[in-house]
C-alpha cells in the first residue's frame, strides 16, 4: 500500500507505472488525472487521491482532457486478488451491473447487495452503480469520438437507461455535452468511422509489452474457423469470433504497437456488447498486468533473472472465452477443431477464415470426451465467469471426468486469469509468489529460452 506522500512523488515524476492504480484530483481546478498526466504538477496542498475514477467523479471532479484518466489500464490488483472486491471488479468490467443490476452482481458473488456496496465503497470510494457508470461514460466517449453513430444510439449502446441519464453523466464527467465532446479536435482518436467498419480501439497496457511472445502463443493455439493469425512476425494480426451476451463479434488486434497500447477493431452485431468485448480482449492479452511488480519479484532470482531481463513485459495470456478454453483444454487441438466444425454456430456474415462461433457447452453434452465437462458448465456446477471463486472452480473441475490436475490448473491460469498458478513443473517455488504463472511463461522455451531442456507447457 502506498501512502499519500509516495503517491505525490509518483505524480511529480509523472510515473506511468501507477496509471490505473490510483487517481489524483486538484481541488482548485475541479479536475482529476492519471499519475502520468503531462500537465504542470499541482501543489501538494491542492491534491486529493482516489482509488478509482468513479470515486473522483463521485466527489464532483471532471476527467482531465490531456491525460484521459478514463482510458488507463485497469488495476493489476484485481487480477491478483481472489476476494469479493476483486471478483466484483472483474464482473463489473464484464458488464454484469449493466445487464443484471446490483442484485445480479451480488447473487453471482454470493453476498447481499448491501454487503457488496459496503465493501466496494470502503476500498474504492464508490459502489457498484458508480463504478459501472464510470465505465459506461468511457464507452460513450469512445463511441462518440470514433464512430459516426447517432448520439441517441450511443446512449443505449453504452448501457445508459435513458438519453437524459446519458447527457447528465457526460456533462458531469467531461464538463461538456455529448455533441461538444464529439466535436473536439486534437483528441488523437482519428477520424470517425461508420460502425460497419468496426469500432477502432486503443487497448492500453502498463509498462513494456512483449507482443511477439503473446502472438506466438496465439498463433500456435489458433483454432480454424474460430481464430486466425495473419501477417509476418512483428506485423501480425490476431482475429477471432466472440459469443457475447447480446450477439456476436469479430475482434482483431495488431501485434505492431505504436505506443502504450495495442491497436484493435471490433465488429459487433449489437453495440451493447462493446464493453464486454473489450474486457474479453483485455483478459486474453493480459493488458492489466503489472510488469514492474513481476520483474521486481522474479528479476533477482538466479534462474529467472536473465530471462526477465531478456524479455521485459512478458505476459501470461488469459482466455477470451473461458468455457471454450476449458473444453479445448480437455479435448485437445484436433478434436476441438472437429467440435467447432460439427457443432459451432455459423456466422451470418463470415469474414475471411472466420466462419463460426465455438459451440456452447449445451451443444456438447453428449460428446464422449468433453460431454461431462460441457454438462457441468451448462448446469453451472463449474463456473468460469469473471467473478468465479478460483479455488471452488478448480475443485469443481477436478470432480469432472477427463479433467486432470494439470488441466484444471491450466484452466485456472488461463480461463480464470490467476497470476499465481504453478503450471510449469519448475515454477512451484514460494519465492515466486504471487507471480508463478509468469515464472512459468519465462521458463517456457517458446516464450523466453533457447535451452532445449526447458520444455513448453502451453
Mean pLDDT by 10 residues, the chain (458 residues): 89 92 95 95 96 94 91 78 87 93 95 95 94 94 88 91 94 92 63 66 92 97 97 96 97 89 94 93 95 95 95 96 98 97 95 96 97 98 95 97 96 96 88 94 65 36
Bridge pairing between strands 199-204 and 354-357: unpaired
* CATH architecture of structural domain 200-288: 2-Layer Sandwich (3.30)
What pLDDT is stored for residue 426 in this prediction?
84
Say if CB 358 and CB 344 are below 8 A apart: yes
In which element (H, E) is residue 264 found?
A: strand 261-268
The whole-angstrom separation of Cα 140 and Cα 274 is: 10
Q: Which residues contact 338 (CB under 8 A, 6 or more apart)?
A: none
What pLDDT is stored for residue 185 in this prediction?
47
Q: What residue spans define the domains of the chain?
A: 4-70, 77-146+149-183, 200-288, 322-414
Q: Which residues contact 438 (CB under 8 A, 6 or more apart)?
A: 294, 298, 314, 315, 316, 419
H-assigned helices in 311-387: 322-331, 333-343, 371-378
- The top-level CATH class assigned to 322-414 is mainly alpha
Catalytic residue among 33, 37, 64, 67: 33
In the 8-state DSSP scheme, what is residue 41? Answer: P
In which element (H, E) is residue 173 found?
A: helix 163-174
Q: Which residues are bridge partners to 268 per DSSP?
A: 249
CA angle 156, 20, 95 (to 5 degrees): 30
Query: pLDDT, tens digit, for every residue of 311-320?
Result: 999 999 999 9
Active site (annotated) includes residue 428: yes
Let me know if 234 is exposed, middle or buried by CB neighbors in 10 A (0-12, 13-18, 19+).
Answer: exposed
CATH of span 77-146+149-183 = 1.10.10.60
Active site (annotated) includes residue 33: yes
Catalytic residue among 15, 301, 385, 428: 428
Residue 293 to residues 49, 213, 297, 299, 427, Cα–Cα distance (Å)? 21, 19, 6, 10, 17
Q: Which of 31, 385, 372, 19 is nearest to 175 (CA)?
A: 31
What pLDDT is stored for residue 424 in this prediction?
85
Q: From the options 3.30.70.100, 2.60.120.1310, 3.40.10.10, 3.30.450.190, give the CATH code of 4-70.
A: 3.40.10.10
Amino acid at each position: 500500500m502506498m501512502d499519500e506522500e509516495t503517491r505525490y512523488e509518483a505524480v511529480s515524476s509523472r510515473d506511468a507505472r501507477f496509471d490505473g492504480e490510483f487517481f489524483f484530483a486538484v481541488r482548485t481546478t475541479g479536475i482529476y488525472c492519471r499519475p502520468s498526466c503531462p500537465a504542470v504538477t499541482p501543489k501538494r496542498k491542492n491534491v486529493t487521491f482516489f482509488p478509482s475514477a468513479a470515486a473522483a467523479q463521485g466527489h464532483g471532479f471532471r476527467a482531465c482532457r490531456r491525460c484521459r484518466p478514463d482510458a488507463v489500464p485497469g488495476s493489476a490488483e484485481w487480477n491478483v486478488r481472489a476476494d469479493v472486491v476483486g471478483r466484483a471488479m472483474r464482473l463489473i468490467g464484464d458488464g454484469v451491473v449493466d445487464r443484471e443490476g446490483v442484485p445480479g452482481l451480488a447473487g453471482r458473488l454470493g453476498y447481499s447487495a448491501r454487503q457488496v456496496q459496503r465493501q466496494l465503497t470502503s476500498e474504492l470510494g464508490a459502489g457498484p452503480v458508480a463504478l459501472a457508470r464510470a465505465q459506461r461514460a468511457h464507452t460513450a466517449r469512445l463511441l462518440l469520438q470514433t464512430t459516426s453513430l447517432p448520439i441517441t444510439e450511443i446512449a443505449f449502446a453504452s448501457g445508459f437507461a435513458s438519453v437524459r441519464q446519458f447527457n447528465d453523466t457526460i456533462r458531469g464527467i467531461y464538463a461538456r455535452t455529448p455533441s461538444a465532446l464529439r466535436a473536439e479536435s486534437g483528441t488523437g482518436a482519428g477520424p470517425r468511422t461508420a460502425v460497419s467498419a468496426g469500432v477502432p480501439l486503443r487497448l492500453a497496457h502498463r509498462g513494456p509489452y512483449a507482443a511477439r511472445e503473446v502472438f506466438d502463443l496465439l498463433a500456435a493455439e489458433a483454432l480454424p474457423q474460430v481464430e486466425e493469425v495473419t501477417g509476418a512476425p512483428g506485423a501480425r494480426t490476431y482475429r477471432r469470433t466472440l459469443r457475447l451476451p447480446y450477439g456476436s463479434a469479430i475482434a482483431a488486434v495488431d501485434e505492431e504497437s505504436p505506443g502504450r497500447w495495442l491497436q484493435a477493431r471490433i465488429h459487433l452485431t449489437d453495440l451493447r456488447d462493446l464493453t464486454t468485448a473489450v474486457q474479453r480482449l483485455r483478459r486474453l492479452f493480459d493488458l492489466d498486468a503489472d510488469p514492474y511488480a513481476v520483474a521486481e519479484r522474479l528479476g533477482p532470482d538466479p534462474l529467472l533473472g536473465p530471462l526477465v531481463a531478456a524479455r521485459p513485459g512478458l505476459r501470461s495470456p488469459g482466455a477470451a472465452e473461458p468455457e471454450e478454453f476449458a473444453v479445448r483444454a480437455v479435448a485437445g487441438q484436433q478434436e476441438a477443431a472437429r467440435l467447432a466444425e460439427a457443432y459451432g454456430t455459423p456466422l451470418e456474415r463470415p469474414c475471411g477464415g472466420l466462419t463460426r462461433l465455438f459451440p456452447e457447452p449445451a451443444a456438447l453434452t453428449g460428446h464422449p470426451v468433453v460431454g461431462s465437462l460441457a454438462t457441468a458448465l451448462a448446469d453451472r456446477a463449474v463456473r468460469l465467469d469473471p467473478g468465479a471463486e478460483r479455488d471452488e472452480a478448480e475443485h469443481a473441475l477436478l470432480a469432472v471426468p477427463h479433467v486432470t490436475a494439470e488441466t484444471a490448473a491450466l484452466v485456472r491460469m488461463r480461463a480464470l486469469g490467476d497470476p499465481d498458478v504453478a503450471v510449469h513443473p519448475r515454477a512451484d517455488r514460494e519465492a515466486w509468489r504471487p507471480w508463478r504463472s509468469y515464472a512459468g511463461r519465462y521458463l517456457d522455451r517458446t516464450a523466453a529460452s533457447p535451452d532445449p531442456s526447458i520444455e513448453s507447457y502451453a
